[in-house]
Amino acid sequence: MTVPLPTVSLRSDAGHLHAGAPAAAAPGAIGQAPRLSPAAVRRPTVGVLFNHDALHQVSHVAPVITGLREVAPDIEVTALTSSPQQQRAVTAIVGRPDDAGLHFALLDIPGRVSSWLSLLNTFAPARRLYILKRYHALLSRFDCLLVPETTSIRLKTWFGVANTRLVLLPHGAGDRAIGFGREIRHFDHVLVAGTKIRQRMLDCGVVDEAGSTIVGYPKFDLIDARARAPLFDNDAMTVLYNPHFDPDLSSWYDHGLRVLDYFADNPQYNLVFAPHVMLYRRRLHVSMASGRVRAMRPLPTRFLMAPNIRVDLGSENCVNMRYTLGADFYLGDVSSQVYEFLFEPRPCAFINSHAARWEQDPNYRHWHNGPVIDDVAELDAVLRSGVVGHAGYRAHQRAAFAETFDISTTPSATRAARAIAALLTDENRAAVR
């Protein structure tokens, strides 16, 4: 099905910019106003693109919008969202648009196309790719575009966006191979959380020293670790089970129901089942690496009724560190959220569902932070050891956190904003490190 691209327009009303046909106001818009003045257009422009089906990437890059407004108030910043839900989430972090250089643009999709994309989106990122195609002309008008994921590099490699600097700030700081793929070399600059990520990117040849900057983890700027609150109204140990969706690597498909059965049969433990937010957003998961397909089935209602099990398949609490801060024990496989859990060292365990030879594999570096089990039958012994067994991992966890996240007294969002501002100033490019 071929759908004509829209006529691109950019107009402002109370800080909202509208993308699409000139007569169509974006949902959530407030009135209408003239186009941006020539003086405003001459200011450096940065777009921050939120183009995903879920909200988990918002908190990784939205704080940089605030940072840019503080360190470089001459820069026009536009938050480009692909859904009203994303727009609300960004607004909750950065505030409402204004006339001082903060704008919002909602990148909408025609209803007839959205229906087709919903079908394709059950097994591939069709909606994200369509957004990139539909709006590539608009996105090319920014001096710099900040993105949290690598799909956006198709703007350059597929859609011919050549003069906009694409800056990647990855959402998460995990160890999976996908985070170090060859497509990263096409970005003009990469902002990374710490020395671990940067060194591996250097070793893989996807960045060089001048093309990467360590900025910390802007998501942590939003977190008050002292606000850790209990997740259940009892004193039992609370376990967070956080499986990934990757068909090749996730523990969910082969072991997940057995994990939930164990906790349903052992009420002396609390369980928060909060998988990666994408796990239950698709009916099919297809591995881009192997082509393996995994089908999702409805979650049995018995787990929803268990008083010691809390099921959350995608609420805000899945992405705001409510669970990673509040749980006592982390159980997972390959999600980068384990490093957020290590904000405070605590017991972890990992399920090896795919017979990985992980000990010397950098893709499983996080598995050195706790015991690795090959079967759910081993889970009982791991949980019983609890805090006692954790003593041997505590020092390693502190070191792993420190190499993953370079945290300083300067907010990470401020550091990221300074790096972006330097990229937009020719004489300062060499200073970006």
Report pLDDT digits (tens) over 302-354: 999 999 999 999 999 999 999 999 999 999 999 999 999 999 999 999 999 99
What pLDDT, on a 0 to 100 scale, did the predictor assign at position 22? 33
Q: In the chain, which stretches have pLDDT less than 50?
A: 1-16, 18, 20-41, 427-433
Q: How far is CA 137 from CA 16, 80, 133, in A?
A: 18, 14, 8
Cα distance between residue 361 and residue 176, in whole Å: 10
Indicate the DSSP class of residue 53.
Answer: S
**Could you read off the pLDDT of 165-211 as tens digits, one per residue?**
999 999 999 999 999 999 999 999 999 999 999 999 999 999 999 99
Domains, the chain: 11-217+408-431 (3.40.50.2000), 226-404 (3.40.50.12580)
**0.75 exceeded by the pTM?**
yes
Write the burial class of residue 377 (CB in 10 Å: 0-12 exposed, 13-18 middle, 19+ buried).
Answer: exposed
| CA 200 remoteness from chain centre | 19
Beta partners for residue 166, in sequence order: 145
- The values of phi and psi at residue 396, to 5°, are -65, -40
* Ranges assigned E (strand) in 229-302: 238-242, 270-273, 284-286, 293-295
Tell me, what's the pLDDT at 342?
97
CA distances from 390 to 142, 271, 326, 393 (A): 49, 19, 17, 5
| Angstrom distance (rounded) from CA 216 to CA 212 | 12
